[in-house]
């Protein structure tokens, strides 16, 4: 495990996240993230973009893709309602030798190594947890670990991005944090063509007609304001394809797809089932 020594305190660093995330489309969002992270003058500082949108629209994937464009290591921290300040910074653990070992969080590791930190579902955290990050998110660019007794300054190459689901969060994000998480970049549902390409990229073995029907279902749901996402579409198509390749090999595809939608999202989701084949120009009938 890689280590760093700060003011005589040894910190054990986290491993970077190497994910097989497939990013298709939404190029404008990636450009906005990269613009926020730019340094255009020696007195300039990077911004801390906040990606907002419904669950499953690809916010984390887009942040990860932007970080990889910079050629940086990426460290993802999954926020929850139970996240504590020490979880965000430095956590003490007892080693096999009975000694205290200080474990740097993914965020602190990114700070030390000049990587990119992504705080996922950041609006799940309490104000107490946010307070520990306040000096990192402004011109001070440091955190202070009370547990380890050290102040950790961010590497000049360090960048951070947070994602927030556009739904009821457990805690209200404090206003002084909102002002530090700018710009706000809204990630919306993709258009039909883009949604098809995303599904195809995630399921390259998929039956094309099945994918067309799933895209049509999702597009009808998007227009009605439902929060069904591309992630839902991938799960529906994946399950339907498994059934069509196995126990339901001889059944009509439409029946299996309807059942896959019901089992994934519930029976009420079938109100968006595409009964007509002409509402999507890419759609071809399913046998």
Q: Which of 42, 266, 79 is nearest to 169 (CA)?
A: 79
Residue 87 has pLDDT above 90, yes or no: yes
93 and 177 both lie in a single domain = yes
Number of domains composing the chain? 2
Could you tell me if 94 and 129 lie in one domain? Answer: yes
CATH number at residue 43: 3.40.50.300
**What's the confidence (pLDDT) of residue 283?**
44
Question: Residue 278 domain-assigned?
Answer: no
User: What is the crossing angle of helices 208-223 and 253-265, to 10°?
Assistant: 50
Assess contact for 257 and 240: CB atoms under 8 A: yes
pLDDT greater at residue 117 or residue 54: 117
**Co-location of 79 and 203 in the same domain:** no
CA distances from 146 to 73, 88, 89, 121, 141 (A): 26, 12, 9, 25, 17
Torsion of CA 212, 214, 220, 224, to 10 degrees: -160
| Residue that the structure tokens 């990269």 belong to | 34
Per residue in 12-51, pLDDT tens?
999 999 987 767 778 899 999 999 999 999 999 999 999 9
The residue to which tokens 């390259």 are assigned = 204
Is 282 inside a domain boundary?
A: no
Instruction: Look up the pTM and report it.
Output: 0.86
User: In whole angstroms, how far apart are CA 243 and each of 121, 199, 247?
Assistant: 33, 18, 6
Strand partners, 78: 120
pLDDT digits (tens, 9 = 90+) for 131-175: 999 999 999 999 999 999 999 999 999 999 999 988 766 678 899
Residue 279 lies inside a defined structural domain of this protein:
no
Per-residue pLDDT tens digits for 165-208: 887 666 788 999 999 999 999 998 888 998 998 899 889 999 89
* Enclosing domain of residue 231: 192-272
Distance CA 276, CA 283 (A): 10
**Two structure tokens written together for 269:** 């989701």
- Helix or strand run (H / E) with residue 159: strand 159-165
Task: List Cβ neighbours of 200 (8 Å cut-off, separation of 6 or more).
Answer: 206, 211
Establish if 144 belongs to a structural domain. yes
Domain end position, chosen among 186, 213, 241: 186
Asked if residue 287 belongs to a domain, the reply is no
């Amino acid at each position: 495990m890689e280590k760093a020594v700060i003011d005589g305190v040894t910190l054990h660093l986290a491993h970077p996240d190497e994910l097989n995330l497939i990013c298709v489309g939404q190029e404008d969002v990636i450009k906005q993230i990269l613009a926020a992270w730019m340094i255009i003058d020696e007195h300039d500082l990077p911004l801390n973009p906040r990606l907002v949108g419904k669950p499953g629209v690809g916010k984390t994937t887009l942040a990860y893709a932007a970080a990889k464009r910079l050629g940086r290591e990426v460290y993802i921290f999954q926020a929850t309602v139970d996240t504590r300040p020490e979880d965000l910074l430095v956590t003490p653990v007892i080693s096999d030798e009975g000694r205290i070992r200080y474990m740097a969080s993914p965020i602190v590791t990114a700070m030390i190594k000049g990587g990119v930190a992504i705080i996922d579902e950041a609006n799940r955290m309490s104000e107490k947890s946010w307070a520990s990050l306040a000096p990192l998110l402004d011109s001070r660019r440091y955190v202070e670990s009370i547990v380890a007794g050290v102040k950790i300054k961010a590497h000049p190459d360090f960048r951070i991005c947070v994602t927030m689901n556009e739904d009821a969060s457990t805690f209200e994000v404090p206003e002084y944090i909102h002002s530090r998480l700018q710009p706000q970049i809204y990630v919306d549902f993709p258009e039909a063509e883009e949604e098809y390409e995303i599904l195809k990229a995630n399921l390259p073995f998929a039956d094309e007609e099945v994918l067309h029907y799933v895209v049509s279902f999702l597009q009808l749901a998007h227009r009605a304001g439902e929060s069904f996402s591309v992630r839902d579409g991938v799960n529906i198509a994946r399950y339907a394809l498994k059934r069509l390749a196995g126990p339901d090999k001889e059944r009509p595809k439409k029946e299996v797809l309807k059942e896959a939608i019901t089992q994934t999202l519930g029976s009420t989701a079938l109100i968006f089932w595409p009964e007509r084949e002409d509402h999507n120009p890419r759609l071809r009938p399913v046998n």
